[in-house]
Structure formats: structure tokens, C-alpha cells
Amino acid sequence: MRTSARGPSIRGRLLRASVLTSGTALVTASVAFALYDVHESRRMLVRRLTTDARIIGSNSAAALLFQDEKAAEATLAALRAEPDVLSAGLVTPDGRVFAAYSRDGGPVAAPAAQPGLPHRYEGGVLVLFQDVALEGSVVGTAFIRSELREVSQRIYRYAGIAAAVFLASLLAALGIATRAQRPIAGPIQRLAEAARAVSSRKDYSVRAAAEGEGELRQLVDTFNAMLAQIQLQDEELRAARDGLEQRVAERTQELTALNGELEAFSYSVSHDLRAPLRHIHGFVDLLQRRAGDALDATGRRYLDTIAGAAKRMGQLVDDLLSFSRVGRVELRRGRVDLQRVVQDVIRELREQDPARQVVFRAAPGLPEVPGDPATLRVVMGNLISNAFKYTKTRERAEIEIGSKPDREETVIYVRDNGVGFDMKYADKLFGVFQRLHRADEFEGTGIGLATVRRIVHRHGGRTWAEGETDRGATFYFSLPLTGQEAI
């Protein structure tokens, strides 16, 4: 009988169900007939012994009346013809054994009679009582004790016959069930084989053979119709997927080329802008030295404005170059100790502006994270410098750097008590050249946070910010624990 990883086949299940059903019916019938035969055998034995007791009583009534023990014993001796009788006797009304018979010749004790119970079973022995009457008066009681050997022999014979019939019937049922289940199990097995072929090979062109009748044929036809529909949908899905992959590849190629062109253009423009800016700055310096004393206050203010604008433009070009390089630089993976990076950035800021009173709170135990050490230092430098810049209007500036471990990523934050921002403009913070404050209030080019987002994105992380106007801001970025680079 074939089996699979999930149990017996449908053929085996049907065969087992048929055999079990037939076997259960046979066993039930055999047990019922056996119980009935035992009951009838006992009833016939009681009837026969009752007849024997009545005959003994009739033949012994006069002997009881006239106290003729010899005649009574002679009458009881006729029970030798019954090999199963163990003992018998006649009892007087006062309970004395008047005469007795014993198969082994030993003494006989009178069993206690129970009113209304003419016979009873004691283990494997039947005890039967019968009143002895003469002219309407009870002159004594006859009793007989008999083995149930005849009943037991009948049971054994019946059990043997039942076992033989059971085996023969079981074999016949097995043969009939084997032939009868083929029209049912065959189509179902072939249907299951077709389903396994579809599941293992993902080949929806497979079809089950059209066979069987009634519900089986309907099941096979429904299965084939379902496969046809799935095959059609699979072909459509494959065609759509192939087309989508082609379009994605084309778009990816176009975007790659476009990004390359934009980065090359940005780098070229930034590079080319440096030369005229250096000229502007140099000639302004020469003009201030040569004719500075001849200029009035307005002229000198004009020169200062030109020099300041050239300087800011130079800084903007430098930041734009840095932003352009971020997209092209190769990330060198390693373990970055953020605690050391933060301490280095704080030390540099204090050296740049030693007069400022800023309280830095770097949480102890900042984690080591997977990533590129150089670019992640740029991230921490930009965020902490940003907080340092926007807290300059506070008498007591406070900047906190900490981390929030998570199951899948590490979140780093920089929190300050500076001027903050309105949350409705939060989506503009990480854009290039996006500023929420005027340049005359806070210096900067608006590229630092855009650089942060690009670096973090290349590391597979996220950036976001929370803030409130004049109540400080918190900038977050996350790095995945796996350290996988974004594509």
C-alpha cells in the first residue's frame, strides 16, 4: 500500500475503511449471537435440570413421607447419567439433608435456598431448587448442583466457528473492497498526482485525466477548469512582470545616466564657479588696498557687501561640491565609534568659538555602528554644528546627543534648545538650498542637512526632525543593524 509523507493513500484509506466496517459488523454480529447462544444454553440447562428435579421429587415424595432413605438415594442415583451434575439431594422442611448424591462420593451439604429464586449461579456452578409435594402438601425440597461445562463447550465451539467465519468473511470483504474502491480511488489518486506535479513544478499546463462518474467526474472537470484559469492568469502575470522588469531596467538606466549627468554638471559648475569667485574676491581686496582711503563710507560698504557675497558664494560652491561627492564616493564599511566621533566634533566646535558658553550632553555609551567612518563623521559634524549655530541666541545653550536602540535599527538624535522651527515646514529641512531662517540671522548655505540625508540614505537609514518655534529642535537619523547599503 503506497504512502506519502502525509499518510496512507486514498486507496489505502478506502480499503481500510471497508475492511474495518465489514470487520466491525462481523464482530458485532458474532458477539450478539454468542451472547444469545449462551443465554439459550443456560435456559435449556435450567429447563432440563428442572425436569430432572421434578422427576426426582415425584419419585421421592413417598420416601420422604415414610422416611425411606434407601428409596430416595436410589432415585437420586439416577443422576449418574448426567455427567455435569456435581451433587443433588432431598431436604426435609426442617432443613435436614434426607438423602444425597455426590459425583465424587463425598459428603453433601444442603445449599441455602432463597425465596422466590428457584435457581442461581455460583461461579461456574448452577444451583437449582424444586419443591417436593404430595397430595398438595410440601414434604421437602430437591436440589441439584451442576457444572456449566456444556455451556462452556458450546461457547468454545461457537467461538471457533465465528473465528473461521470472520476470517473467511474478512478475506471476502477485502477482495470485494479492493475491486470496488478502484473506480473511486483511481481517479482521486491521479488527481492528487496532477496536483503534486502542479505544486512542485509550477506547471499549470498539467491536466488530470477525465475519468470517473458523478461527483468524481465533476471534481476532475472543476480541477482542470481551475488549472486553465490559473494558467491564463500566470501567463498574463509573467507577461506583465517581464514588461515591468523591462520598464524598470530602462527607467533605472535612464535615472543612472541622469544622476551621473546631474552630478557631473553640479561638479563642473561648482568647479567652474570657483575661478570667477576667486577673481572677484582678489580684485575687491586689491581695490580696498589701492583706493580704500579714497572711498567714502558708502563705497567701502559696497566693497564689503561684494566681498561678503563672494565669500558666501565660495562657501556655497564648496558645500555644493561636497554634496556632489557624497553621491559618488565609495563607502568603506567598518565599525564607527560614535562616542569618539561626537567628542572630536565637540572639541573642534569649542576651539572655533571658545567664547561661547554651550553645555554639551553626550550620553555615555553611544554605540558602535556599521558604516563608513568618513561620511558618518560628516553626518555627526553637520547635525551638531547645526545645533551649535541655531543656539547662538541663547544665554545658556544646551545640546544633547544620544541614541535609542531598536530591534532592527539604531536611532541617533541631536537635541538643542535653539530657535527651533515650525513643524509644517519639516519636509523642507533636508532639501538642497532649503532654509527656514534668513541668511542675515544665521549663516549657512542650506546644503548641510541635505548632505546628511543623502549619506544616511546610502547607509540604508532614515532621517527626520521634530521641533517647535523658539523651543528647540531634535534631529534624528537611523542606521540598520545589518549595515546593508541602500541601492
| Chain CA centroid to CA 74, Å | 88
What values do phi and psi take at 120, rounded to 5? -155, 165
- Report in angstroms the alpha-carbon separations of 249 from 236, 423, 461: 20, 38, 24
Q: Which amino acid is at 353?
A: D
Considering just the CA atoms, what is the radius of gyration of the chain in Å? Answer: 56
Arithmetic mean of pLDDT, 12-26: 74
Q: How confident is the model at residue 485 (pLDDT cuts 50, 70, 90)?
A: very low
Measured at the CA of 287, the angle between CA 286 and CA 293, to 5 degrees, comes to: 120
pLDDT in tens, 168-215: 877 777 777 666 656 666 667 677 777 777 777 777 677 766 665 667
| Chain CA centroid to CA 21, Å | 37
On whether the pTM is more than 0.85, the answer is: no
pLDDT in tens, 305-320: 777 677 666 656 665 5
Q: Which amino acid is at 277?
A: L
Arithmetic mean of pLDDT, 363-372: 85
pLDDT at 487: 36
Between 139 and 326, whose confidence is greater? 139
The full length of the chain comes to 487
Return the DSSP state at 293.
T
C-alpha cell at 421: 522651527
For residue 298, is pLDDT > 70? yes
Could you give the residue ranges of the DSSP H alpha helices within 292-372? Answer: 297-326, 338-352
Are the C-beta atoms of 462 and 456 separated by less than 8 Å?
yes
pLDDT at 477: 92
Three-class DSSP category at 437: coil
C-alpha cell at 250: 530602462
For residue 281, is pLDDT > 50? yes
Three-class DSSP category at 42: helix
For residue 484, is pLDDT > 70? no
- Report in angstroms the alpha-carbon separations of 149 from 14, 45, 126: 44, 11, 11
Instruction: Return d(Cα 146, Cα 179) in angstroms, integer.
Output: 52
For residue 442, is pLDDT > 60? no
Three-class DSSP category at 426: helix
Instruction: Return d(Cα 43, Cα 58) in angstroms, integer.
Output: 22
Q: For cell 535609542, what's the residue?
A: 404
Q: Which amino acid is at 379?
A: V
Domain map (residue ranges) of the chain: 7-170, 329-480
| DSSP code string of 187-216 | HHHHHHHHHHHHHHH--TT-------STHH
Q: For cell 532649503, what's the residue?
A: 434
Instruction: Return d(Cα 176, Cα 50) in angstroms, integer.
Output: 49
Domain 329-480 fold is: Heat Shock Protein 90 (3.30.565)
| Chain CA centroid to CA 24, Å | 39
CATH for 7-170 is 3.30.450.20
pLDDT at 398: 92
Among 143, 113, 106, 107, residue whose Cα is nearest residue 128 = 143
Between 22 and 469, whose confidence is greater? 469
Q: How confident is the model at residue 413 (pLDDT cuts 50, 70, 90)?
A: very high
Instruction: Return d(Cα 366, Cα 401) in angstroms, integer.
Output: 9
Q: If you average pLDDT over every residue of the chain, what do you get?
A: 78
